[in-house]
Structure 1
């Protein structure tokens, strides 16, 4: 059946220096990089045919 997902996002108005540093460290982590969608993967394969 269908799934319903509710996502709540909190965006702080300001960050302390330690919070900014923590976020910068997380940004470098491979775990926080978005995964390619199936559509992107398909087009990457398609482009390689013409390289």
Structure 2
């Protein structure tokens, strides 16, 4: 996977960093915005 972009967003009154992820073996148009904190919890080896 690769990070294509990054943004700051507000969710439930909290500021969160989101990253646009290009997933392995998927087309670029299938990239999704994911919460950076959640990704780091799910994939501890992930270090952007």
Instruction: Give the TM-score normalised by structure 1.
Output: 0.20
TM-score (norm 2): 0.20
More strand by share: 2
Q: Which has the higher contact order (CA 8 A, sep 6+)?
A: 2
| Larger Cα-atom Rg | 1
**Structure with a larger share of its residues in helix:** 1
